[in-house]
Copies of this chain bind each other. A is one copy, B any other.
Amino acid sequence: MRNNDFKDIVFNRHSIKSFDANYKIPREEMLEILQEATQAPSSVNLQPWRFVVVESDEGKEKLRPLVKFNTRQNDTSSAMILIFGDMKCYEKADEIYSEAVRRGYMPQEIKERAMGFFLPAYKSFSRQKMNDVVKIDSSLMAMQLQFVARAHGYDTNVIGGFEEDIIAKEFGLDPERYVPVMIIAIGKADYEYHESVRLDVKDISKFV
């Protein structure tokens, strides 16, 4: 990491839509960024996020018609990180909780009690409810990803406008299982950001 200044990383973050097209983030660093991003919290630690990192010319070519008015980010970013939510994330519960027991973070009986409690609930969720869970958790992680990227010297843009109905299939994922959440363009910024305004929180909050 190149920057450890919290205020600079967080409050000087801006949506960057054009990047140095000649710069590629090394694979090892990209994996570090993703590993650091996924320290984010998730509901009962099921970590429903899954990644397709589109960085090759062929990958970008395939993605271009799917990103609507966001082709500049596609064409200039180091990578377009496609974030999907795994509607069957609970299939990794035993792997996650067993590792926690193995490392001594959790006693075996707590693992069994927890899984006995949340697994039936997760399996009974409607598609709508599971959609909400995986999108909320993946979005928490996505904000952490953006900050970690800045700590590494990169900038990002969250992209919500893309062909949601076909992107999973186009990249070889089962669209019933993997729901697209967002795309994050990442790379070295090649222009100055635009300032933007925020609502006064007093106008959007009430205290009870």
**Contacts A96-B199, A105-B194; is A205 near B52 (CB within 8 Å)?**
yes
Q: Is A19 an interface residue (CB 8 A)?
A: no
Let me know if A160 and B43 touch, CB within 8 A.
yes
- Size of interface on A: residues with Cβ below 8 Å to B: 79
Contacting residues, chain B, for A143 (C-beta < 8 A)? 40, 139-144
Within 8 A of B (CB), among A113-161: 128, 131-133, 135-137, 139-144, 146-148, 151, 158, 160
> In the assembly, what is the distance between CA of A181 and CA of B34, in Å?
25
Q: Are A100 and B197 within 8 A (Cβ)? A: yes
Interface residues of chain A, those whose CB is within 8 Å of chain B, are 1, 3-7, 9-11, 13, 15, 27, 30-31, 34-36, 38-41, 43, 45, 47, 49-56, 58-59, 62, 92, 95-96, 99-100, 103, 105-106, 128, 131-133, 135-137, 139-144, 146-148, 151, 158, 160, 171, 181-182, 194-202, 204-208
